[in-house]
Amino acid sequence: MLDPDFIRNNPEVVAKKLDERGYDKNLLYKFINVDKEWRNIKQQADNKRAEKNKLSTTFKEFKNDEEKIKTIKNRIKEIDEEIRKLEEKEKELFERRYFLLLNFPNMHLDDVPIGKDENDNVEIKRYGKPKKTADNVKAHYELPYFDFERAAKISGHRFAILYGEIAKLERALINYMINLHVMNGYKEVWLPHLVLEKCLYGTGQLPKFKDDLYSTNDNLWLIPTAEVPLVNIFREEIIDGKKLPIRLCAYTPCYRREAGAYGKDIKGFIRQHQFDKVELVSITKKEESIKEHEKMLKDAESVLQGLDLPYRVIKLCSGDLGFSSACTYDIEVWFPSQNTYREVSSVSNCLDFQARRANIRYRDKNVYYAHTLNGSGLAVGRTLIAVIENYQEKDGIKIPQVLRSYFDGDFIYF
């Protein structure tokens, strides 16, 4: 959530940022009008309370004048009714104002490239050279490792079943990622997969992305990413500034309807309603989040470097940023069967945007809103595909060196 004072005092800046992100500037004008009306009604209510308090102090002055006392009491009664009506209006306007605030995206940092969509993203660097291409590998879904038909019989479209050594390879990747991140200074966390609605408001999935989420009949929601429960661990808390940064990592399944993704990545294991992910989250002081963002990117990259998989790093343009992000790096791993790089991680700095929504603060000399960062470290299923395709041989899959301790041999045969 944006600071209302910032919006009120910098409308030209906010309008420019909204335009660069592809959002309708009418949101800004609606907020300014409602905010002005709310503050006006609030001031009127405060004035009425002050008038009532002033009248209340005159009882002693006129204690022997029954007519005057009666007049004062009648006026106080009228003021109480006026205050009641003003408070009703104030509450209505506050709720409208708050709803509008919830729909503002984060404001991107000044060094974010300006653009409309993914075509305007900027490549930052590459690691490794692709050795496999569509000419010498089969797509992962052409290999006998995934059972989509029986998964559809159980759960419907966009689900999969893994068996045997490939199921073990998925598990090995999870363990490898978690162990690596713990070595890099993150604390492992085991989490609930169901959260309260307020948690999704806190991290910015609600109200904007409601159609992409799964919910239960008793108002619990399945997590679309471990970012949601990890950030909300500190909801409505004031953290000792000496304990920051707090770095956390967690493995969880993630659940998404992919409501806006029909027709995309229909084949295979790339875009599923349920998928595994290892997530990184940092809670930092406001002056440290830029530096922390670079560290988190480096830590996510280290997973692919250990696996010796070719990848590139992309800096997202303003129009392609996630709703809560002020700056995002995407890490894209090489998919030989498609002769292209595909996203396997997004590493984002949300500044104080989520902390304002979730009321996460820290105490230093004063009390400040914390800055939150999150990143996939990594999306396990897509990393699994990258391993299967980049390490594909004629008779099966060669196991990457860093994963061989989980297996009896160094090869998975077809």
Q: Sign of the CA dihedral 188, 220, 264, 271? A: positive
Q: Per the residue annotation, which of 301, 348, 382, 389 is the catalytic one?
A: 382
Q: What span, in angstroms and rounded, lies between the C-alpha atoms of 82 and 236?
A: 34
Q: Per the residue annotation, which of 256, 356, 357, 361 is the catalytic one?
A: 256
Beta bridge partners of 331: 313, 345
Q: Per the residue annotation, which of 8, 39, 96, 271 is the catalytic one?
A: 271
Active site residue 337: no
- What token pair was written down for 248? 């956390």
Q: Per the residue annotation, which of 325, 346, 348, 376 is the catalytic one?
A: 346
Active site residue 324: no
Q: Sign of the CA dihedral 189, 193, 196, 201? A: positive
- What token pair was written down for 14? 């906010």
Active site residue 39: no
Active site residue 256: yes
Q: Per the residue annotation, which of 37, 82, 288, 343 is the catalytic one?
A: 343
Active site residue 247: no
Q: Which of the residues are catalytic?
A: 256, 271, 343, 346, 382
